[in-house]
Amino acid sequence: MAKFPDTMAFTGVNTPVRIEGDVFDLEVEGEIPSDIDGAFFRVSPDPQLPPLLQDDIMFNGDGMITQFRFKNGKVNFKQRWCQTDKWKMEREAGHALFGAYRNPLTDDPKAKGHYRGTANTNAFFYGGKLYGLKEDSPAVAMDPNTLETFGYTDWDGQVTSPTFTAHPKIDPETGNLCAFGYAAKGLLTKDMVYYELTPEGRKTKEVWFEIPYYCMMHDFGVTKDYAIFHVVPIVSSWERLEAGLPHFGFDTTKEIHLVILPRDGEAKDVKIFTAPNCFASHVMNAFNDGTRIHFDTPEARNNMFPFFPDVHGAPFDGPASASRLTRWTVDMNSNSGEFEKRETLAQFVGEFPRIDDRYAMNPYRHGWMLGFAQGPNGRASLAHIDHATGTEDVFHAEGASTLQEPAFFPKSGKSDEGDGYIVQVALRNEEKRADLLLFDALKVGEGPIATIRVPMRLRFGLHGNWVDGVHLDRAAAGQSSLGGVPTVAPN
């Protein structure tokens, strides 16, 4: 009989949902433009079974995928777990076999040698498939229409790394997938591998290299000419795992680095830049102007993860965890080894940055970010940041609602940058249900143009993406050659 711990991670708003199901034709307040055809996918960590240990962190829950399918002004809802090997083994055993987050020393012996991935970090569409992603394991392929799980993929043996990032990028020009693995020669190793794959699934690039120290390599930046890896001291060690400490801790005494690989280069061409300590995780976008590289990331003075505490024992510092969008600039022609600039781009305090993905890797104008509720009466928020005018247009959620990561899609493939919609999940915590909000992307401050009502609770979610209906229809017809950015119909 399942009994979840009576702790923060499993009670109140964090009570596991564990419901797979379908709702045909969700209730809508407002009007959904009838020409919207596509789906929004998002993933939320949602434990199938009570944890093996007494407690667990949210980042260790099994990936539950939600699909909101828009067509003819209506929205259908579908929710399924991504059936990882862990999920299947634990379902068969009837209880948890895998222990603490990223600590195999805590596992049941039956788990030994199996991927520990939970596929709980991103629901990412590419080349006709949906991928459930967790950075400690390979990608899990799924059917984007039915949400049936196919299983782990190594792209026909071409991708040998035991890890695959939860934040791959699509090159809007070539249609290629740019991705990496870290701890790529085993747990806690400094080894990295960078891959590029074509929409047909052919590997065109593979470079192995090392970073200065092992850390959480959660996201990266890609420009037309460079792949950019930010090394920030969310660190670990075998001593931590043996002591049963959380896998990661933050080390304020270490410098940060940008490790830069030319996309047409090899390991010997990697250049490393160094800057004073700070915290940064997600990347809004990056682009290069010749050898000058701009890398936009929400930067905080200190750790943003209270569950990955300071390695030297300092208490969590709330105000210092506030992040603002910051542009890091380096020049590959410089031999100083230092950043050229570190410039705050917006005053909005937030994370989960998104863009119009048709402008990924290129100079761009528009970005969107999520703001967390601060203080007892604080409200969650959504900001549109216009880099051209310097304006920040902010929407504040009602009452006890929490918001999740926004996703953008254009009105059509020919629309100007930013001329489109934002979708964003809102948890109505007091009512124990959720909404999907639909905004005009350039007028988020005016509030949603439609509110799509989900008649049940959803859980804290991580990343999600919009996929144009043409991609989904082609995938249903078994056509897998689907280049380009999935928010627009392929050519």
Q: Where do contacts with ligand V55 occur on this chain (CB under 6 A)?
A: 45, 59, 120-121, 135, 218, 281, 462
The closest residue (CB) to ligand V55 is 59
Q: How far is the CB of 452 from ligand V55 (least distance, A)?
A: 24
Q: How far is the CB of 398 from ligand V55 (least distance, A)?
A: 26
Of 95, 40, 43, 59, nearest to 304 (Cα)?
59
Q: How far is the CB of 377 from ligand V55 (least distance, A)?
A: 26
**What gap in Å lies between CA 233 and CA 303, rounded to an integer?**
9
Instruction: Name which of 45 and 420 has its Cβ closer to ligand V55.
Output: 45
Instruction: Name which of 121 and 323 has its Cβ closer to ligand V55.
Output: 121
Instruction: Name which of 116 and 263 has its Cβ closer to ligand V55.
Output: 116
DSSP letter (8 states) at residue 14: G
Instruction: Name which of 56 and 135 has its Cβ closer to ligand V55.
Output: 135
Alpha helix (H) ranges present in 176-316?
Answer: 238-243
Do residues 172 and 361 make contact, with C-beta atoms less than 8 angstroms apart? yes
Instruction: Name which of 407 and 441 has its Cβ closer to ligand V55.
Output: 407
Q: How far is the CB of 438 from ligand V55 (least distance, A)?
A: 25
Q: How far is the CB of 185 from ligand V55 (least distance, A)?
A: 19
Question: Distance from CA of residue 298 to its chain's centroid?
Answer: 14
Instruction: Name which of 41 and 395 has its Cβ closer to ligand V55.
Output: 41
Structure tokens at 356: 């119009």
Say whether 330 sits in a helix, a strand or coil.
strand
Q: How far is the CB of 134 from ligand V55 (least distance, A)?
A: 6
Query: How many angstroms separate the most distant Cα atoms in the chain?
Result: 62
Using alpha carbons only, give the angle 194, 198, 204 rounded to the nearest 5 degrees. Answer: 50
Q: Count of alpha carbons within 13 Å of 288, Cβ hemisphere only? A: 20
Q: Which helix (H) or strand (E) holds 250?
A: strand 249-250
Q: How far is the CB of 283 from ligand V55 (least distance, A)?
A: 12
Instruction: Name which of 228 and 304 has its Cβ closer to ligand V55.
Output: 304
Structure tokens at 230: 């930010």
Concatenated DSSP letters of 136-149: TS--EEE-TTT--E
- Beta-bridge partners for 95: none
